[in-house]
Structure 1
Amino acid sequence: MIEQTLTVSELKSNMAWLVAEQKPACEGCNGKCGSQVFSKLFGTHKKAFPVPITEPLQVGQKVKLALDDSQVVQHALWVYLLPLIMAFVGMFSALLLFSLPEIGQIASAVIFAFLGFFIAKKKGQSLKHDVKVIKIYPISLPVTQIDGD
């Protein structure tokens, strides 16, 4: 199980929008390494994650969620491997079946990779992640006490 503590940013009817706190890549070099620079350049936007709620929550409250990691692996296999496999299928079929020149093989690989990407995207939308609420922290607890559990 993958566990993460998130903060409630917004409440709408029976949905809570949760935001993860951004953690720096490392803190050993005070922002002078490449990881820190890229983290500062590209990691500035926060995405809200909708979760259906059954218990009353308040904005600013911390919630610990758990995600079954087998679903994450399955999703990653669809997203990363299918376009790659489809690109190889397109390239080899262009070579072996149609005897296309190199530019035709490249074009076929790109077309098949995009086809694999769209199939993976459709399949990814149908995969449901089993997200469970493990713990809802009271709003009065300080952050250090929440992280210490």
Structure 2
Amino acid sequence: MIEQTLTVSRVERDTVWLVAEDKPACAGCNGKCGSQIFSKLFGSNKKALPIVCEESVQVGQKMTLALDDSKVVENALWVYLLPLAMAFLAMFVAHLMLGVSEPWQILAAALGGLTGFQIAKQRTKALRHDIKVIKIYPISLPLTQIDGDCAK
């Protein structure tokens, strides 16, 4: 299971919109590495994830969600492996069965890869992710609070 803690950004009836917090790639370079420079250049376009939630939540609350690993692997196989396999298949068919020259084989491989990508795109739309709510944190307590740790 892959777990992630998200923040509630919007609540509409039984749908809760969640956004992830920005996490820097590393904290050791003080923003001088390539990863953080690209992050600053291209901004952080946060996308909200809609989840159907029957429980009452408020904006600002944190929720921990879990996703089954097997669905991620299944999606990765469709998205990465199918276009590659279709490109090779189209190239071999163009070479062995049709006997065309190399530029036509390259074109066949590109068309096969695009066809595989379109099939994978349609297939992954049909896959359903089983996202489960693991925990809903109360809004009055920070996530880092430890029992017995109070300021006097």
The one-character-per-residue Cα deviations of 1:46-100 (angstroms, maximum 9, x if unpaired) are 1111110110011111000001111111111101111111111111111111111
| Offset of residue 143 of structure 1 | 4.1
Counterpart code for 1:33: C
Large movers: runs of 4+ above 6 Å: none
Cα separation, 2, equivalents of 1:21 and 1:63? 12
2:38 is matched with 38
TM-score, normalised relative to structure 2 = 0.91
Q: Which of the two has greater helix per residue?
A: 1
Could you say what the CA RMSD is over the residues aligned between the two structures, in angstroms? 1.4
From the superposition, tell whether residues 77 and 46 of structure 1 become closer, same or farther in structure 2 (CA, over 3 Å).
same
Cα separation, 1, equivalents of 2:117 and 2:104? 20
1:111 is matched with 111
1:94 is matched with 94
Cα separation, 2, equivalents of 1:114 and 1:82? 10
The 5-angstrom pairing of residues 35-74 of structure 1 reads 35-42=35-42, 44-74=44-74
Cα separation, 2, equivalents of 1:7 and 1:50? 12
The one-character-per-residue Cα deviations of 1:80-138 (angstroms, maximum 9, x if unpaired) are 11111111111111111111111111111111111111110111011111100000000
Instruction: State which structure, 1 or 2, has the greater radius of gyration over its C-alpha atoms.
Output: 2
Cα separation, 1, equivalents of 2:20 and 2:12? 18
Cα separation, 1, equivalents of 2:66 and 2:43? 23
Unpaired segments of 5 or more residues in structure 1? none
| Offset of residue 35 of structure 1 | 1.9
Unpaired segments of 5 or more residues in structure 2? 147-152
Equivalent residues, number: 146
- The share of aligned pairs that are identical, in percent, is 64
